[in-house]
Structure 1
């Protein structure tokens, strides 16, 4: 995408805005866009900084990898400069540890806001936290060289950055358990077949495919997309009759709006 106005550029995250489309780029290709608490804070800040005009957010990573996951420096005794190491956090009070993880999770939660549609454009490695960041988005376009993997369990940990819920919703419990417990790679063909990826394209066409999808999403009226997203997002937790009722209520709002009738 072109002609972006830069809104934020810090700690490995750049947010640019071009009218109704925002692009969040991970900007540390030398480290395969490895993640850190500072990067998570920057992602949270990016979500808060989005102008109200934005309808679609594209998430991408510079270089050959989308994100190789958590920077292993987090598990060294020294950790990151100015940050407590994960080992020190583990030795602290449980409520403080819980609050710290909750703050980290905020970087992964805003992508599914009802007023936005988010697209992850994923190439190369999307491992651990990188996989979970891709899963945080509504839609995923994958390059044909993509390698998804959930390695946390292999390291004695669990996926804790909001990735388990969308993973189970997309591929089902049994496959999600197998992917997480084995830590194996999920390649492009399987990702597309199982619903992890909406579309797979050659790597050199990834940005163009994300741009095309963003344009297609902008073609429908914003309020209709917002209402439809909310209906679909809530469908799994509603009964059939509850969903019918939600559809009627949403359609009533749309018809009144089209007729120029205010509530």
Structure 2
């Protein structure tokens, strides 16, 4: 299991930072566009030779499968498959600093990224002290008590096993799913409000445009009728020999 922690910092204007994780044969493991701030990624390299099982260290699952084969034919096929996947043992973590502004005034900037990679095999996973995670679940048990769940708070002296960790993670996952559902509902409401705002703005612009047109027509009509009246009044005065 491979854990990758990335601190990409803030987004730079007119630049996009992309993450690309692949193996030697260009098999894409992870790809994310426009990453920013903190990012945690976990994946497994099934072709890694660093395995611990039954005292046979430094064997990949493909080689282990070959060793357990009962026939020569399966041994040969397993060896061929192992040799075909040799290039997948190496994992590459790359970043693309893409410029989205092509104007002459654009000045590109370097994007500093901090990467932490942690590799765990079966032996290191079996040596995990789950009691170290107990302190992080006190708030979880407090929430469970508020919901009248019959559980006891965790302290540093309580046995905190892998099963309890999984139970608490499932509870957190359920809570996160509820939060995601609430956020999706809020997003839908916001999108509806934005759509209504756009419609209202378009209506206001249409009203303002029509008002401007009618105002201009009214001014023109008033000016024309006023000029006609002045011409008529001047002609009338001349006809009466007043002017």
TM-score category of the 2 structures, normalised to the smaller one: under 0.3
User: Larger Rg: 1 or 2?
Assistant: 2
The higher relative CO (CA closer than 8 Å, separation ≥ 6) is in 2
Using the size of structure 1 for normalisation, the TM-score is 0.18
